[in-house]
Amino acid sequence: MYSLFGLLLFVQGFVCQINFPSVGQENSCIEGEVCKKFKDCKSAVKAWNNLRKQPNVCYFQGKDQYVCCSNGGSSNSRIIEKPSTSQQKCDDYYPLINFNPGGFKINVVGGVNAAPREFPFMVALRWGEFDGPSSYLCGGMLVSPTFVLTAAHCTSIEGVQPKFARIGGDDLSGTSDRDSKIKAITIHPYYNPESAYDDIALIELEQRTKLTPACLWLNKNPLPKEATAIGYGHKEFAGTNSKILQKVNLSLFNNTNCNKYYNAEDSNVPQGIKKSQICAGELKQKKDTCQGDSGGPLLSKLKVGNRTIPYLIGVTSFGSFCASGVPAVYTRISEYSRWIERVVWRE
């Protein structure tokens, strides 16, 4: 299975604004809901604070946002749920400050070299006792002070497991004394190395880190139209690993379109692209992940008030030749959130 991935090429950064209806362009509310100012709708405010669930917007009037409010704002079990453990942890990592009910934005970054500590949750997995970029063969992402999320196929390369993890998105040419020792590896129970399904695993570190983890994207739908992939992989097929963390903007494909590129003849996905997977790439601009990036994050940033929260959407799994005009495939994190919570927070 061709599965070790990397990042390519240059891309101009931009912001993708979620478009809400304007004044007079009302969304139809369901029975039992009324159109009400967001800040006066307790159920909508609680659903956002607890679950980051965006309200169904009726219209804007000046700076006020009117939303479909259940039962005039009373409790609604369909909307008001107890926050998941991962969302509670996310609130701890990124406490809300100066919440702005009109500030729902998805930010997508671009470029090639990431700035130092731009992605403090980025992890590079190291094999062997020796040091150097060539020994960092896979990526990962910090989801708690002691756990790293990665691809299942990254837990063993030629029968050898990684021994160390470098956290913080740092330059890999530096000294390895900052690397954390790996304590234990948990592979998803349904993973089969003969295919790319359920390609996800968790790595426990021996010591806690003080760096801030990223949050898990819990909503299965909708996904943003664009996301960012990061990693230390090759800049071209069969090239060499990058010492400096790379980042690239990619467009997300729905599974129907992605299945046009993968069929039953592909041993990685003999049943086609499943709902537990995401496809991403830039076919015309030839931007992609490549060898060495497997296990790394596909992420999006949600702007809430004056805080920008990184959400992990996918785990780099596999693809065709780098930047060959075929989207790469990522494991969809939202499909595995309960399993992640059980392993990481012992639920």
pLDDT of residue 225: 83
pLDDT the model gives residue 62: 57
Catalytic residues: 153, 199, 294
Per-residue pLDDT, 113: 77
**To 5 degrees, how large is the angle CA 288–CA 289–CA 294?**
160
Question: According to the model, what pLDDT value does residue 206 have?
Answer: 96
From CA 122, how far away is CA 143, in angstroms rounded? Answer: 10
pLDDT value of residue 28: 57
Q: Mean pLDDT of successive 10-residue segments in the chain (347 residues)?
A: 37 32 47 80 74 67 72 42 80 67 36 78 86 77 97 92 92 79 97 95 96 90 83 55 82 90 81 93 59 80 77 88 72 96 90
The model scores a pTM over 0.85: no
At a CB cut-off of 8 Å and minimum separation 6, what does 265 contact? none
111: tokens are: 């470029």
- CB 224 within 8 Å of CB 250: no
Q: How far apart are CA 293 and CA 254, in angstroms?
A: 22
